[in-house]
Amino acid sequence: MRAAVVTSFGGPEAVEIVDVERPEPGEGQIRIKVAAATLNPVDAGVRAGAFGTGKPLGLGWDVAGTVDAVGGGTGWTVGDQVIALQHGFDKPLGTHAEFVVVDASAAAAAPASVDLVHAASIPLNTLTAAQALDQLALEPGQSLLVTGAAGAVGGYAIQLAAHRGIEVTAYAAETDEELTRSFGATAFTPRGTTPAPADGVLDTAFIGAEALGWVRDGGAYVGVIPGAHPAPERGVRTSSVEVKADGTQLAALASLTDDGILTTRVAETFPLADATKAHTRLAEGGVRGRLVLVP
């Protein structure tokens, strides 16, 4: 089968499409025939050598497709359409491949309301947003500021927070106000200006200490780069989310997609063979929605 890997670190040109053996599922695992797999910023980090040193490294965390083989004790059946998160910075094969093996506990039934290309954009970004909101632990009626609000994690965070009854202010480029309000933000602050203090900040734009200053005394700050959050001050709790594969939580998020609470966004699709072109497009920036590879 074909898979996207890096054998030397660098820019988009470092991505290689290679022929490898089709993986076999073990106990508690399923093999998925990949229909679509999203390209995320973390893949660019892996490609550039920001995580792990082992090589070759497989690329891809998100997947949507059809179960085509099962190990023992999985609860899944060949032919089931699923989505899953294959977590890991340092793995020989990722989801940017024709087939991928994942733990059965990481998978959920694909939502029925969107095609598999759009479904592939759900796992990493919705789980990150949901787990970050869980860490913030805001109550209905409290206020949340989301930086990078027009991005994939930021957009899902706004939708989930609004669904939980939290008042959301979006912090993004001025041209993204209409978009972020469509997600459920009730207020908007253009990037480069100072927002009003909030009970919590979800910092998907990696602003750091400055964004911590936008949290009210005794509030909470959560970043999205593991371990890179600023130190606590003024009684503000600070942490960063390190996303975990969780099929039960992913199933709930898929259900919210079917209910119209979460809106998937796909900017462009690329054949797996054109993975380098997809990485080049990601590096150019300004993507609204996800780039998706299709084997």
The domain that holds 231 is classified in CATH as: 3.40.50.720
- Tell me if 35 sits within 8 A of 67, measured CB to CB: no
> Residue 90 pLDDT more than 90?
no
Is 117 domain-assigned?
yes
Query: Strand pairing partners for 36?
Result: 64
State residue 52's pLDDT score.
67
- Measured CA to CA, the distance from residue 175 to residue 129 in angstroms comes to 23
- Sign of torsion over alpha carbons 178, 208, 240, 37: positive
Q: Mind listing the pLDDT tens digit for each residue in 215-224?
A: 999 999 999 9
Same domain, 12 and 116: yes
- The mean pLDDT of 174-199, rounded to a whole number, is 97
**pLDDT tens-place string over residues 95-125:** 999 999 999 999 999 999 999 999 999 999 9
Per-residue model confidence (pLDDT) at position 77: 97
pLDDT tens per residue across span 124-148: 999 999 999 999 999 999 999 999 9
Residue 89, pLDDT score: 87
**Mean pLDDT across the stretch 165-184?**
97
pLDDT averaged over the chain?
A: 96
pLDDT at 228: 87
Closest CA to 35 of 108, 153, 118, 94: 118
Query: Residues 136, 112: one domain?
Result: no
3-state secondary structure of 50: coil
Distance CA 58, CA 120 (A): 17
The CATH number for 56's domain is: 3.90.180.10
Residue 56's pLDDT band (boundaries 50, 70, 90)?
confident
Q: Considering the domain boundaries, does residue 58 fall inside one? A: yes
What percent of the chain clears pLDDT 90, i.e. is strictly above it? 93
Over range 38-42, report the average pLDDT: 96
Query: Which pLDDT score, from 0 to 100, does residue 23 have?
Result: 96
Distance in Å from the first CA to the final CA of the chain:
10
Do 84 and 176 lie in a common domain?
A: no
CB atoms within 10 A of CB 158: 28
Q: Say whether pTM exceeds 0.75.
A: yes
Q: How many residues does the chain have?
A: 295
Does residue 96 sit in the same domain as residue 200? Answer: no
85 and 102 fall within a common domain: yes
Pick from 201, 224, 240: which residue ends a domain?
A: 240
Query: Cα(266)–Cα(200) distance, rounded to whole angstroms?
Result: 28
The 3-state DSSP class for residue 94 equals coil
Residue 55: pLDDT over 80? no
- pLDDT at residue 53, rounded to an integer: 67
User: Which structural domain range is residue 181 located in?
Assistant: 125-240
Residues 110 and 129 in one domain: no
Closest-CA residue to 87 (of 141, 129, 123): 123
Average pLDDT score over residue span 48-76: 90
Distance of alpha carbon 217 from the chain centroid: 29
Report if residue 10 sits inside a domain.
Answer: yes
129 in Cβ contact with 136 (< 8 Å): no
- pLDDT at residue 197 greater than cutoff 80: yes
Higher pLDDT, 263 or 227: 263
Q: How confident is the model at residue 84 (pLDDT cuts 50, 70, 90)?
A: very high
Q: Which residue has the higher pLDDT, 222 or 55?
A: 222
What is the sign, positive or negative, of the torsion defined by CA atoms of 214, 157, 118, 11?
A: positive
